[in-house]
Amino acid sequence: MFSLPNLAYAYDALEPTMSAKTLHFHHDKHHAAYVKALNDLLGVAPKHITSLEDVIRQSALGGADAAKLFNNAAQVWNHAFFWQSMTPVAADPGPELQTAIQSSFGDLAQMREAFIKEGVNHFGSGWVWLVASGGRLSVVSTHDAHDIITERALSPLIACDLWEHAYYLDYQNDRKAYLGAWFDTLLNWAFASSQLAAASGNGVAWRFDTPTESAKAA
């Protein structure tokens, strides 16, 4: 079974940008529900399953029952990646990432503008991502549960949740204010830098924890 990952920070560590109340609902209710639904769909101790990434890729291929499995598996992955994409510890982009930002966007301010614009203009629920492809960065968004690892030959560096549950308690309908504050105060540049290094062959990209073979918890 797959486990709900613990946050690497306290629930109130991202305040005031993201309230403890939002994080409790988002992690303890929304993300937990996706994990439970995923494990229920997969059944008890499926020994043939070795990674969440494989579940996502295989269910993305389609089939009558695949959509529900894909949606829950991808949302489990996306949220875990989203927790990694945030930190209360301020840092700057590493040198390699700074160079890539300059060559791809001009400068950090233009990357910020592109990221926020993509998120604001995204219709409905989904995710906005900073991605790398061959050292070139871009900003893309995906709908609902859709992710990066199945859809495109891109490496995700960070993701921000555009579902209303991610920001409505703190910002109501003001997605732009949420995205701006998120980018300015929470974006985990150290994580983005390590993801970019991994995409260039230096180190290992983040992966979801492998499943355990234990029977389902009560």
Binding site for Mn ion (CB under 5 A): 161, 163
Q: How far is the CB of 31 from Mn ion (least distance, A)?
A: 7
* Phi and psi angles of residue 194, each rounded to the nearest 5 degrees, phi first: -70, -35
Q: How far is the CB of 202 from Mn ion (least distance, A)?
A: 30
20 or 91: CB nearest Mn ion: 20
DSSP state at residue 86: B
Q: How far is the CB of 39 from Mn ion (least distance, A)?
A: 18
Helix (H, G, I), strand (E, B) or coil at 91: coil
157 or 160: CB nearest Mn ion: 160
**Residue type (1 letter), 89:** V
161 or 170: CB nearest Mn ion: 161
Residue nearest to Mn ion (CB): 161
Q: Are 88 and 7 in contact (CB under 8 A)?
A: no
Q: How far is the CB of 156 from Mn ion (least distance, A)?
A: 16
Tell which residue, 205, 183, 9, 195, has the closest CA to residue 94: 195
CA 48 to chain centre: 25
159 or 199: CB nearest Mn ion: 159
